[in-house]
Amino acid sequence: MALVIALNRGRILKQCLALLAKVGIEPVEDMDASRKLIFQTRSQGHKLVIMRGSDVPTYVEYGAADVGITGKDTLLESASSSGYYERLDLKIGRCRIMTAVPKGTASVAASVAGPLRVATKFVKVSRDYFERQGLQVSIIRLAGTMEIAPSMDLADCIVDLVDTGDTLKANGLEPRETIAEITSRLIVNRASMKTKFDEVEDFVEALRSVVNSS
């Protein structure tokens, strides 16, 4: 039986496609030249479905996709993981979820009278982290442009993905605490593990072999 594979359309898509190509799964057409979101493949009838990374767990959880690839940051922020298993660390898309503060700040928490204002799209991750630190916080949800929140007096600090840190530096911020190390993960629908066990296991083990050899 063929698998439906949900892929994050973001920055790691090319790396995901390169991994899939090594296990013999390639789209029949050039994705860059198409506006389609569902692609047939040359191997065993598998389908590739391109979507926002935050939607991948939902499609897999509800069985619209058998397997999916998305960042660990998305999984940490996901409301539920009851419908899927996290099976494999693909070791691509490496970055960190970190706190960041204005340059030269010794301690934001010590300098703020009330709750610490935190701008982020990682609401659950941030709230859990600061609760473990024993800090009272006010979470300000943003979809992007976190880096300018402190300079616009919207927030005291931010929580965001950090790769090189260049964007933080350009906007007068510096990274501080690492909350989580992030890589892309393979998740599998729980029902598909039963109904398509052999196909899923073959796929997982083929990817595992590629990852371990790289």
pLDDT in tens, 166-214: 999 999 999 999 999 999 999 999 999 999 999 999 999 999 999 999 8
CA distances to 17, 68, 152, 153, 168 from 8, in Å: 10, 8, 31, 33, 24
Residue pLDDT, tens place only, 120-145: 999 999 999 999 989 999 999 999 88
Give every CB contact of residue 47 below 8 A, 6+ residues apart in sequence: 2, 3, 4, 5, 38, 39, 40, 41
The pLDDT value recorded for residue 193 is 96
> Which residue from 160, 5, 19 is spatially nearest to 91, judged by alpha carbons?
19
Q: What is the mean pLDDT of residues 108-113?
A: 68
| Residue 49 pLDDT > 80 | yes
Q: Where does 95-180 sit in CATH, by number? A: 3.40.190.10
Residue 111 has pLDDT above 80, yes or no: no
Distance separating alpha carbons of residues 114 and 128, to the nearest angstrom:
19
Distance CA 157, CA 140 (A): 10
Residue 54 pLDDT greater than 80, yes or no:
yes
For residue 79, is pLDDT > 90?
no
Convert the pLDDT of each residue in 146-175 to its tens digit: 999 999 999 999 999 999 999 999 999 999
What pLDDT, on the 0 to 100 scale, is given for residue 43?
Answer: 82
Kindly write down the DSSP assignment for every residue of the chain, as one continuous string.
Answer: ---EEEEE-STTHHHHHHHHHHTT--BSS-GGG---SEEEBSSTT-EEEEE-GGGHHHHHHTTSSSEEEEEHHHHHH-S--TTEEEEEE---S-EEEEEEEETT-S-HHHH-SSSEEEEES-HHHHHHHHHHTT--EEEEE-SS-GGGTTTTTS-SEEEEEESSSHHHHHTTEEEEEEEEEE-EEEEEEHHHHHHTHHHHHHHHHHHHHHHHH-
User: For the chain, what are the domain ranges?
Assistant: 4-93+183-213, 95-180
Q: Quick check: 199 and 205 in contact, CB under 8 A?
A: no
How confident is the prediction for the chain on average, in pLDDT? 93
Q: Which fold has domain 4-93+183-213?
A: D-Maltodextrin-Binding Protein; domain 2 (3.40.190)
Q: How far is CA 208 from the centre of its chain?
A: 19
Tell me, yes or no, if the two domains 4-93+183-213 and 95-180 fold the same way: yes
